[in-house]
Structure 1
Amino acid sequence: MDMVTAVTSFGRSGLSDWLVQRVSAVILLAYFITLGVSIGDGVTYAEWKALFEQTWMRVFSVMAVLSLAAHAWIGIWAVLTDYLTERMMGAKGNVLRFVCQILSSLAIFVYVIWTIQILWS
């Protein structure tokens, strides 16, 4: 039985994609729990600024945004490869899927760079 692999897949196999999704979900959960505990009942601008001036929070935020990007890419790739196929959409299905994958990856890349710029400027 051959495994389905593609150049645009995040990992080498479905198992590695599954593992990346689970690890990224745990990192995101930890990040949002940390934010929730830090915020508590409310937060002022000064407290929010002080929280994100700490190096550990900036690093944790970068880890979270990279986890979100990996998690999102795997999900987008799975949906696009399931629904935009040559069999379902004719000869243009593969081209449309490729264009959608390029646009999605470009958007994710821009969001990651933008987040890093905001955090470290």
Structure 2
Amino acid sequence: MVKPIIVGAHYGFRDWLAQRITAVVMAIYTVVLAVAVLSSFDGSYESWRGVFSGGFMRFATFLFFMSLFFHAWIGVRDIFMDYIKPTGIRLTLHSVVALLLIGYAGWAAQILWRL
């Protein structure tokens, strides 16, 4: 009996669902940000800063960025697993992208709580 070799991402439903959930979180944040900006924004730096001065908007923005980074990770990881066949190159690319996304998450946190 020949055992089939399974290659590629093949993570299935879990990753599909994570992609949809993160997309919904990002879409809801976009609407919330648009409402917040349009209701209290007059074009000045102080009003822009005022939108993000509350804890809710900082948390919502951080949640948006975490969703964005996780969404990007799943997509890029699946592309690498499907199209980059040499294991060493694929592992290197996975590592670089993971480290960049973790760094971006830290940078986003620093920016949001520095205001």
1:68 aligns with 2:54: no
Q: How does 1:40-119 map to 2 (within 5 A)?
A: 40=38, 43-85=43-85, 93-119=86-112
List 4+ stretches of structure 1 deviating above 3 A: none
Count of aligned residue pairs for this structure pair? 108
Higher relative contact order structure (alpha carbons within 8 Å, sequence separation ≥ 6): 2
Contact 2:29 2:61 (C-alpha < 8 Å) held by counterparts? yes
Q: Residue in 2 aligned with 1:88?
A: none
1:120 aligns with 2:106: no
**Following TM superposition, by how much is the alpha carbon of 1:5 offset from its aligned partner in structure 2, in angstroms?**
8.9
- Distance in 1 (alpha carbons) for counterparts of 2:70 and 2:96: 15
Instruction: Flag the 1:76–1:42 CA change in 2: closer, same or farther, 3 A.
Output: farther
- Distance in 2 (alpha carbons) for counterparts of 1:30 and 1:64: 9
Percent of pairs identical after alignment? 31
Report the RMSD for the aligned CA atoms in angstroms. Answer: 2.2
- Distance in 1 (alpha carbons) for counterparts of 2:71 and 2:27: 12
State the TM-score, normalizing by the size of structure 1: 0.80
Contact 2:37 2:51 (C-alpha < 8 Å) held by counterparts? no
Structure 2: where are the runs of 5+ without partners? none
